[in-house]
Amino acid sequence: MPHDAIQAAANALRGARRVAVLTGAGVSAESGLRTFRGAGNPDLPPDMHALWKEFDPQTLATPEAFAANPEMVTRWYEWRRIGCLAAAPNAAHAGLATLERLLESRGGGLTLLTQNVDRLHQRAGSRHVVELHGTIMVWRCTRCGARTEPAPEPMREFPPRSACCEQRAALLRPDVVWFGEMLPEDALRAAARAAEECDVFMSIGTSSVVYPAAAFVLQAAANGAKTIEINPEPTPISGRVDWSIRAKAGEAVPRLLALLRD
């Protein structure tokens, strides 16, 4: 792990009151969940490679795909939901929950903006989580918008039908944000506020190619925040942050915490 960058990042965090963190799929990689993009680990079996190497987002993660083939799309999301339920939070999730409590004990705070739909941050104890792309744990009625949290057991009907609307005529869809859909307004507002108010913005485990989420770190920098990236691979923002830490989140986040407590 590059010592200078992580030491400088820890110093910036030590002086910060308000911290904003943007996380992506890389934070859950060490929990065994597949990322969407990235080189990944060539030693892993193909069924652990990045999802978009095996699946086409246009035929699975768009409203048009759901309209054309709701059975295929909902089976794919149910397969992923079951995988998320079986996964456990890792050291990065736990470390971010600890950092939130540490900042609060010093009169500050942490806003955790996540692109992840797996709810692992909440399961690790993070309290102030903004789900930018929704969650796979909640599904919603395509007719009335009512939300429901399906039981942990695998669903049996595809596409699943909504219990709330007349004669089960409407379909259920995962409450995630697909390509071409707007992000929830309250989430966007919370993210914009966090990027405006934070002293330090950390971008962890994200390829920084999906917008508008990828823009928040640059907005924070423009507002005067110090910026930190944690990712084993370079991304489009690596050259634009103050400190780019080339390491796994499950190693770098606990190391940052240890330095903060020194």
- Positions in the binding site for ligand BV8 (CB under 6 A): 24-26, 29-30, 35-38, 50, 61, 115, 117, 133, 176-182, 205-207, 209-212, 230-233, 235, 248-250
Q: Is 140 left (phi over 0), alpha (psi -120 to 50) or beta?
A: beta
Q: How far is the CB of 8 from ligand BV8 (least distance, A)?
A: 19
CB 212 within 8 A of CB 188: yes
Q: How far is the CB of 87 from ligand BV8 (least distance, A)?
A: 13
C-beta of 50 vs 164, nearer to ligand BV8: 50
Length of the chain in terms of residues written: 262
Residue indicated by tokens 């770098």: 252
Q: What distance in Å separates the CA atoms of residue 225 and residue 217, rounded to the nearest whole number? A: 9
C-beta of 166 vs 186, nearer to ligand BV8: 186
How large is the angle between the packed helices 249-261 and 3-14, nearest 10 degrees? 50
Q: Nearest-CB residue to ligand BV8?
A: 26
CB 90 within 8 A of CB 125: no
Query: Among residues 93, 121, 128, 133, which one is catalytic?
Result: 133
C-beta of 209 vs 258, nearer to ligand BV8: 209
Q: How far is the CB of 209 from ligand BV8 (least distance, A)?
A: 5
93 a catalytic residue = no
C-beta of 160 vs 205, nearer to ligand BV8: 205
Residue 44's CB is within 10 A of a number of other CB atoms, namely 10
Q: How far is the CB of 86 from ligand BV8 (least distance, A)?
A: 16
Q: How far is the CB of 169 from ligand BV8 (least distance, A)?
A: 26
C-beta of 153 vs 211, nearer to ligand BV8: 211
Phi, psi values for residue 72, rounded to 5°: -65, -45
- Which pairing describes strands 134-141 and 147-148: parallel, antiparallel, or unpaired? antiparallel
Strand partners, 131: 114
* Residues acting as catalytic residues: 133
